[in-house]
Structure 1
Amino acid sequence: MTTPPLTLRPARADDLPEVHRMLIALAARTGQRAAITPPVLARIALEGRAARLLVAQRDDSPQRHPVGFVLLMIGRNMVAGADWGVVEQLYVQAPDRGCGIGRALLAAARQAAAEAGCAGVTVSSRPETDGSALAWRALGLDLADPEPRFAAA
């Protein structure tokens, strides 16, 4: 698998319409309706201290919008007693799946968590999302418990 040339970076205001569209698609994959509005997304992604919204943009495409995103939330893990990152969502648009973009986004989220002083990262997943368990396992993550959570150190 060859990952296309990518730019991985924090989301900007002009990325948010496409990220919002991807959030709607992600919710639909789980049989839900996305409740987040563009203004709330902007507050979380651009103004929130706990959130890191990172996007992937293909350098070899004339399209200048993101093709995937990862939302990392940072907070205190009361069990571990340390700052901890939680990947709440990771999404890559259908035409770009299977070529390493998700892996690159996860690596960028782990790097952002490390830079923020986090002792580790937990990746959240929902079993009703088609293929999510297979995707996480393909990224080298192990099922941490019977709940839909995968852990990455």
Structure 2
Amino acid sequence: MTTPTMDLPVTIRPARATDLPEVHRMICGLAAQRGQSVTITPRLLAQIAQGPAARILVAVRQDSPQTHPVGHVLLLIGRNMIAGADWGMVEQLHVQEPDRRRGIGRALVAAARAEAARCGAAGVTIMTHPCCDGAVLAFRAARPLDVPPAWGVAAE
């Protein structure tokens, strides 16, 4: 699917095996930003991507000769024990510099929400680490203003 962003067009699609090394590199960058060490290996990432619960979507710039992703979102689909329904959870969002602040994060979140709905999920929970300012902004921008969250937790 092609999703126009503020500044540039990107294609958002399910991650392919050839995308996973770059996705792994982005995960390493996220871990470093949070001061954590990476425990997931490229091989384990490939196994997760093939499983029934995980969807990794990537953003690829259409105007670039490079084919590697410039961003990704990890969507997990599972049973929500409170709602009693299948539910999606956006657990990870990353857009690489210099492509940040161009709407790619919002496009990835919108694609994750659409994928969750396609999978029959009754809703989507979106979460991020408090230090990830860009993800927080993308998540807030992705929530329809007329729909208040059902519940939430604020971290300080």
Instruction: Mark yes or no: TM-score above 0.5.
Output: yes
Matched, 1:90 2:93: yes
- One-letter amino acid of the counterpart of residue 32, structure 2: A
Picking from 10, 15, 23, the partner of 2:14 is 10
| CA displacement at 1:131 relative to structure 2 | 4.2
Picking from 141, 148, 152, the partner of 1:145 is 152
Unaligned runs of 5+ in 1: 149-153
Matched, 1:39 2:28: no
Residue in structure 2 matched with residue 151 of structure 1 by the alignment? none
Question: Matches of residues 3-152 of structure 1 in structure 2 within 5 Å?
Answer: 3-45=7-49, 47-140=50-143, 144-148=151-155
| Mapped contact 2:109–2:139 kept (Cα < 8 A) | no
Secondary structure in structure 1 of the residue aligned to 2:35: coil
Q: Which runs of 4+ in 1 moved over 2 A?
A: 128-148
Count of aligned pairs: 147
* In structure 2, distance between residues paired with 1:50 and 1:122: 15
* In structure 2, distance between residues paired with 1:135 and 1:110: 13
Identical aligned pairs, as a percentage? Answer: 61
| Mapped contact 2:88–2:121 kept (Cα < 8 A) | yes
| Mapped contact 2:95–2:105 kept (Cα < 8 A) | yes
- One-letter amino acid of the counterpart of residue 64, structure 1: T
Secondary structure in structure 1 of the residue aligned to 2:98: helix
- One-letter amino acid of the counterpart of residue 20, structure 1: H
- One-letter amino acid of the counterpart of residue 124, structure 1: M
